[in-house]
Amino acid sequence: MTRGASLVLLAALVAASTACAGPTTPKSTPPSSDAGRTASTTTSRVDPAQAARLQRIMVPLIRVMDHPMQLDQVKVGIMDDQQINAANAGGDQFFVTTGLLQKANDDRLRAVLAHELSHQDLNHVAKAQLLGAGLGIGAAILDQIFPGTGAITPLAGQLVTSQYSRSEEYAADAHGVALLRRAGYPKEMMIDTLTWLLQVSGSESGGFFATHPGTADRIDAVRKMP
């Protein structure tokens, strides 16, 4: 069986943008165990700090897309994977790994998400899937336990993506810079992030550059942008 993955679905990102939403009490769920990394029926709760961080970073970028998604339709799956990675799952659905959330600061997470949102905005066809899970990402949605998030369900499988073409990666980098600028951030944020990813998650490690082909040439291309 392939490596297990915990999938969190963060539904209704719009909830994070409305400060009037009061806290709710999470449903009681049994804790995950190490065995939960394989197929299991136990569930755990979403870390509200992780949910709030993703919402805080993603919502401003979504709002400046050429084709903004409906915020209440956006879902993000958090894969229990120490590799640094993120992916567009299609249908307003995205994946990020726990490795990315733990190791990236806010600016680097913002640039990675701008890149993934750009693949969506530019209608690139490669989409992330779960290998061996037996379920689509949409089928794993559980009842909401607090505003804007869903419960975790352990799924047996791993994140896989069809590799984008080199030209699509260049285009997503450039459009990612455009989204960052519209949201008030400089292109240097993308340069720093790509440099960091190349250093910590090279093409041989199974991380970001293994599923998003690229070399230092991509960094040079962003540097040359006006």
Handedness of CA 2, 99, 6, 39 (dihedral sign): positive
Q: What is the mean pLDDT of the chain?
A: 71
Pairing of strands 93-97, 75-79: parallel
pTM of the prediction? 0.74
Q: Give the three-state DSSP class for 155.
A: strand
The pLDDT confidence band at residue 213, using thresholds 50, 70 and 90, is confident
pLDDT of residue 205: 59
pLDDT of residue 33 exceeding 60: no
pLDDT of residue 186 exceeding 90: yes
The pLDDT confidence band at residue 14, using thresholds 50, 70 and 90, is very low
pLDDT of residue 98: 81
Quickly name the fold that domain 4-21+29-161 has.
Zincin-like (3.30.2010)
Neighbouring CB atoms inside 10 A of 157's CB total 22
Asked whether the beta carbons of 110 and 176 are under 8 A apart, the reply is: no
The whole-number average pLDDT for the span 199-220 is: 78
Domain assignments of the chain as residue spans, ordered by start: 4-21+29-161, 166-223
pLDDT of residue 103: 95
Token pair 């979504």 is at which residue? 62
Dig out the tokens for 220 from the structure.
Answer: 């040079």
- Separation CA 224–CA 226 (nearest Å): 6
What is the tens place of the pLDDT at every residue in 153-167?
434 456 666 678 889
